[in-house]
Amino acid sequence: MYWLGFSAFPGIGPLRFKLLLSYFGSAKKAWEVDKQELIKIGLGEKLTSRFSQFKSNFSIYQYIDKLKQNNIQFITLKDQLYPKLLAEIPDAPFVIYVRGNLNWNVTASIGVVGTRKMTGYGQEVTRKLVAGLADAGLTIVSGMAYGVDTVAHETAIENGGKTIAVLGCGVDMIYPASNTKLYWKIVEEYGAVLSEFPPGMMTTKGLFPSRNRIISGLSLGVVVTEGAKDSGALITARYAAEQGREVFAVPGPITSPLSKGPTILLKQGAKLVAEVDDILEELKISKSQNFRSGKSDIGRLDILEHLTAEEKKAAEILQNEDLHFDEIVRKSSIEAAKLGGILTVLEMKKIIKNMGGGIYGLNR
């Protein structure tokens, strides 16, 4: 209970809590000592004053009741249910808050992170890799942010896998709000939403690095699919390396600024990922099911045989790269007016997709 009390107070993190336990021997004693004792061990007058004021207005029992009413579970570092991989990191949260459940093998987890401003390429490779990882039985861990994070969670769910969303706010705060439906899908059926921050705490930019260390801490390795050179995904990758976890990076077009993050990681020794097997082999994980190889279905005869000659020609042109409409006209020698209708039909058949800006690509 006293571990929970310290967790509810913003200002006592894992390292300060370790100091309190080491000096006083228990959280209960540390909670009950007077202000001067806390100042003596170096907590500082401002923080100690804030803590004293916090205690005078705080009831641990009421706090526990509120958690129960909101279906929020709290797990301390000493509890059996606490994720074993996360417990190994030096600054492991001493309390985590959970909505959903963690009653499965959380040690078989992999972090998938990347940019919020995802391109069509980033979306495609994230879906391809996460589908294979989920089919191999791995839990997908990410941060439920826009872009790559959202696609990672959604793809895990679409493939019947488990997923953990680590938030940079309280577990009762759905951020971003556009992911409300995704949040409840995870909580009610496909895994858990987790945070070290107390319920009700709003997110701020400064909380995300703390969140990132938990994503990597929960994972055997971290995959960065797309991100700029200053992307927060690189912070997660750095934590992973410091924690002794594997770092994986997906190469991208050298013309894209969102390929610079993975390129930096590859130069620093990250494992290059071109397909799911690159990750599974490095982690020494065998495929638990017949999962998709990630190769495009466009080469299969049973799909191509139902297309007209011109539809087939347009689809095959997009086999190896996404192209602008004008480039497809040039390569196919099909009149522009006619090609528009052909591409629409291929979209309806879910063989290609409009990537935006007049660019088309295979629906892999």
One digit per residue, the tens of pLDDT, for the chain of length 364 reads 999 999 999 889 999 999 999 999 999 999 999 888 898 888 889 999 999 999 999 999 999 999 999 999 999 999 988 999 999 999 999 999 999 988 776 889 999 999 999 999 999 999 999 999 999 999 999 999 999 999 999 999 999 999 999 999 999 999 899 999 999 999 999 999 999 999 999 877 777 788 999 999 999 999 999 999 989 999 999 999 999 999 999 999 999 999 999 999 999 999 999 999 999 999 998 764 333 333 334 444 445 556 888 988 998 888 877 899 999 999 999 999 899 989 988 888 778 888 888 888 887 6
**CA gap 224, 161 in Å, rounded:** 19
**CA gap 289, 204 in Å, rounded:** 40
- pLDDT, residue 361, reads 87
The candidate with the shortest Cα–Cα distance to 98, out of 86, 119, 82, is 82
- pLDDT, residue 301, reads 40
8 three-state secondary structure: helix
- pLDDT, residue 68, reads 94
So what CATH class is 109-283?
alpha beta
Amino acid at 29: K
> Strand 221-224 relative to strand 323-324: parallel, antiparallel, unpaired?
unpaired
- pLDDT, residue 287, reads 62
So what CATH class is 297-362?
mainly alpha
CATH number 3.40.50 is the correct assignment for the domain at 2-69 = no
DSSP letters along 122-139, please?
Answer: HHHHHHHHHHHHHHTTPE
Q: Could you state, in order of their start, the residue ranges of all structural domains in the chain?
A: 2-69, 109-283, 297-362
- pLDDT, residue 364, reads 62
Contact 165, 144 (CB under 8 A): yes
Cα 285 → chain centroid: 20
